[in-house]
């Protein structure tokens, strides 16, 4: 079976977009396929886009093949894909694992409304917890290097007592934040990618919310991550994130379906980048 995907990123948070209207896939194939494609093409996850009962929908599978409820930057990329291919409007809605989300585009800039802040709790002076579609711990501190953030993030992400305390025994994403003159800087250790990513939309929103309480920073808040900046707004308890999205290229591959067991990615997914300006 031939599969086509588009490589995109939102502030460096990278995804392959698989359009299920063009490439219908069996549910059982998605876990193996997602893991294989994400590793081979070095992306943080795979976005499956489709229309279900007439409604645009997005599903996100992380690099390790697990499905997540939400992904802020992924939703921004999916929004741009829908706008450019199917929905010639600036404002519309997309169904996600975390419910219906309102989205808005302005050329390459995409804003998505993540909904109301949920489950906020201050754990101690340095640690806070916020649910913005997926669970996020926010650690307040000072400028941290990548290796330290990766090591600390990895141990906090599965720290049993912390995860149980915040009600998410499955694990949490970890954001290290510090205050800059005109913004906050963030390094996010992401569940499912199991590494620091270039940017995390839901993590940036959670971090901005915590910064507004701890540093009394006024919204809109600019967040700086390795891959770029996002603007976070807070309106009537609803958090929105806005920033640039990019196309990186088209990918074509072939798979034998259905999968019965995990297969080496290179076996069925040849590299055929055709970089273009889409």
Residues of the shown chain interacting with ligand LBFN2T5F in the complex, contacts defined by CB under 6 A:
13, 62, 68, 71-74, 134, 173, 190-193, 197, 200-202
Tell the smallest beta-carbon distance from residue 162 to ligand LBFN2T5F (Å): 15
Looking at beta carbons only, is 134 or 255 nearer to ligand LBFN2T5F?
Answer: 134
Nearer to ligand LBFN2T5F, 81 or 268 (CB): 81
Q: In terms of C-beta density within 10 A (0-12 exposed, 13-18 middle, 19 or more buried), how is residue 223 classed? A: buried
Q: What is the DSSP string of the chain?
A: -EEEEEEEEETTEEEEEEETTTS---HHHHHHHHHHHHHHTT-SEEEEEEEETTEEEEEEEETTS-EES--HHHHHHHHHHHHHHT---SEEEEEETTEEEEEEEETTEEEEEEEE-EEEEE-SSSEEEEESSSEEEEEE-S---HHHHHHHHHHHHT-HHHHHHTT-TT--EEEEEEE-SSSEEEEEEETTTTEEES--HHHHHHHHHHHHHHT-PPSSEEEEETTEEEEEEEETTEEEEEEEEEEEEEEEEE--SS-SS---HHHH-----B----
Residue 143 phi/psi, 5-degree rounding, is -45, 125
Kindly tell me which of 70 and 255 has the beta carbon lying closer to ligand LBFN2T5F. Answer: 70
Which is nearer to ligand LBFN2T5F, 68 or 231 (by Cβ)? 68
- Is there a contact between 243 and 230 (Cβ–Cβ < 8 Å)? yes
CB closer to ligand LBFN2T5F out of 167 and 258: 167
C-beta of 57: minimal distance to ligand LBFN2T5F in Å? 17
Q: Between 13 and 245, whose beta carbon lies closer to ligand LBFN2T5F?
A: 13
Q: Least Å distance between CB 208 and ligand LBFN2T5F?
A: 13
**CB of 1 vs ligand LBFN2T5F, minimal distance in Å:** 27
What is the closest distance, in whole angstroms, from the C-beta atom of residue 134 to ligand LBFN2T5F in the complex? 4
**CB of 48: closest distance to ligand LBFN2T5F in angstroms?**
15
In angstroms, give the least distance from the CB of 270 to ligand LBFN2T5F: 27
Nearer to ligand LBFN2T5F, 6 or 110 (CB): 110
């Amino acid at each position: 079976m031939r599969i086509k995907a588009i490589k995109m990123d939102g502030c460096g948070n990278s995804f392959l977009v698989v359009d299920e209207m063009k490439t219908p896939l069996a549910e059982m194939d998605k876990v193996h396929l997602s893991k294989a494609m994400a590793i081979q093409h070095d992306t943080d996850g795979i976005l499956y886009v489709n229309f279900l009962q007439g409604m645009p929908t997005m599903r996100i599978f992380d690099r390790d093949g697990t499905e997540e409820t939400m992904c802020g930057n992924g939703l921004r990329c999916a929004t741009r894909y829908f706008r450019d291919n199917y929905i010639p409007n600036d404002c519309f809605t997309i169904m996600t694992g975390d419910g219906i989300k309102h989205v808005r585009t302005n050329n390459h800039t995409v804003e998505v409304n993540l909904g109301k802040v949920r489950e906020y709790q201050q754990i101690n002076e340095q640690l806070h917890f916020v649910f913005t579609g997926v669970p996020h711990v926010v650690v307040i501190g000072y400028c941290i290097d990548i290796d330290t953030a990766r090591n600390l993030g990895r141990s906090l992400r599965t720290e049993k007592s912390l995860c149980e305390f915040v009600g998410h025994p499955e694990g949490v994403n970890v954001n290290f934040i510090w205050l800059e003159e005109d913004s906050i800087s963030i390094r996010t250790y992401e569940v499912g990618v199991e590494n620091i990513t270039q940017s995390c939309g839901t993590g940036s929103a959670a971090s901005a919310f915590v910064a507004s309480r701890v540093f009394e920073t006024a919204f809109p808040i600019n967040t700086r991550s390795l891959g770029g900046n996002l603007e976070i707004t807070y309106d009537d308890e609803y958090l929105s994130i806005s920033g640039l999205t990019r196309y990186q290229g088209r990918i074509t591959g072939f798979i034998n379906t259905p999968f019965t067991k995990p297969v080496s990615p290179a076996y069925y997914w040849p590299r055929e980048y055709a970089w273009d300006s889409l």
